């Protein structure tokens, strides 16, 4: 038993070191090269929520030719604008954007226990809804992945302020790469304009971060980017559970300086 624990600890330590070295490496190269490097590490999966960051990444994946599968969690409660953007993105970039849906049994179990919109009533209920509609589908999306690519950035919220370019996810035992971690929002908006990247029209209506329709509102002037997510909860670090910071140390580039392809 002790030997098994030692081996597990050694494995995690080695993977953390690998991720740390990778983060240093990625900090020196532009976006397209970051994506190609990610694809070299094994089976790579990018999970997109069709937000502005993820649309920039989808465009970069198509442009770079990196062998990265693109998947989205179609929770069944997305904004119509988000659902429409899935088709627009497929057509624009000629990619297979796979939709991963929650299991009907899991959704029904939540509804039976809490009601369709029971997530407003307690944090426990909200987490249960996210588990059924997002966490379990994410596990399916990443089932065969060696590398998980995301569009999260340090500037999105306090909870993401230390996001590294690469980290080891010990829960899923894979390398998680956040190639836009050091980008700022204005840089991404410039890329969207220059490359004419299709984005969700809700962004122009005050929704910088877009999730499920019942759980997302427009933000008010001066509010953080993700203030509109689960706004009825008091915890400023609220998350759905998809992106929980690991113990990996972040590797930051020069403050405010973003790499462009």
CB neighbours of 175 closer than 8 A, spacing ≥ 6?
A: 15, 18, 19, 22, 41, 146, 147, 148, 166, 167, 168, 169
60, part of any domain: yes
Total domains in the chain come to 1
Rounded distance, CA 66 to CA 44, Å?
9
pLDDT in tens, 6-26: 677 788 889 999 999 999 999
Q: Which residues are annotated as a binding site for [4Fe-4S] cluster?
A: 129-130, 212, 215
25, part of any domain: yes
pTM score of the predicted model: 0.86
233, part of any domain: no
pLDDT in tens, 139-184: 999 999 999 999 999 988 788 889 999 999 999 999 999 999 999 9
pLDDT in tens, 173-213: 999 999 999 999 999 999 999 999 999 999 999 999 999 99
Annotated catalytic residue: which of 142, 152, 240, 251? 240
Rounded distance, CA 80 to CA 213, Å?
9
226, part of any domain: no
Angle among Cα 167, 173, 174 to the nearest 5 degrees reads 50
Tell me if 57 sits within 8 A of 79, measured CB to CB: no
- Domain housing 99: 2-215
CB atoms near residue 5 (< 10 Å): 9
Q: Which residues are annotated as a binding site?
A: 129-130, 212, 215
pLDDT in tens, 31-87: 999 999 999 999 999 999 999 999 999 999 999 999 999 999 999 999 999 999 999
111, part of any domain: yes
248, part of any domain: no
240 is catalytic: yes
230, part of any domain: no
**φ, ψ for residue 232, nearest 5 deg:** -80, -10
CB neighbours of 94 closer than 8 A, spacing ≥ 6?
A: 62
CATH number for 18: 3.40.50.620
CB atoms near residue 239 (< 10 Å): 17
- Predicted confidence (pLDDT) at residue 117 exceeds the cutoff of 90: yes
134, part of any domain: yes
């Amino acid at each position: 038993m002790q030997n098994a624990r030692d081996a597990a600890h050694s494995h995690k330590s080695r993977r953390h070191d690998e991720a740390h070295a990778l983060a240093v490496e990625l900090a020196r190269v532009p976006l397209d090269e970051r994506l190609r490097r990610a694809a070299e590490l094994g089976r790579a999966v990018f999970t997109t929520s069709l937000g502005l960051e993820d649309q920039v990444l989808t465009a970069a994946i198509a442009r770079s030719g990196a062998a990265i599968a693109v998947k989205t969690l179609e929770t069944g409660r997305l904004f119509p604008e988000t659902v429409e953007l899935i088709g627009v993105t497929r057509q624009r970039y000629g990619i297979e954007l796979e939709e991963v849906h929650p299991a009907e049994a899991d959704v029904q179990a939540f509804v039976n226990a809490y009601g369709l919109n029971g997530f407003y009533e307690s944090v426990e209920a909200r987490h249960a809804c996210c588990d059924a509609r997002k966490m379990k589908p994410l596990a399916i999306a990443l089932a065969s992945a060696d590398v998980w690519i995301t569009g999260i950035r340090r500037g999105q919220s306090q909870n993401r302020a230390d996001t590294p370019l690469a980290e080891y996810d010990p829960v899923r035992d894979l390398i998680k790469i956040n190639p836009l971690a050091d980008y700022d929002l204005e840089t991404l908006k410039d890329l969207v304009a220059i490359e004419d990247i299709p984005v969700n029209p809700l962004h122009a209506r005050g929704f910088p971060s877009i999730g499920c329709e019942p759980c997302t509102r427009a933000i008010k002037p001066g509010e953080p980017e993700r203030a509109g997510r689960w706004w009825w909860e008091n915890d400023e670090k609220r998350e759905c559970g998809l992106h929980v910071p690991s113990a990996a140390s972040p590797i930051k580039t020069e403050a405010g300086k973003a790499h462009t392809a």
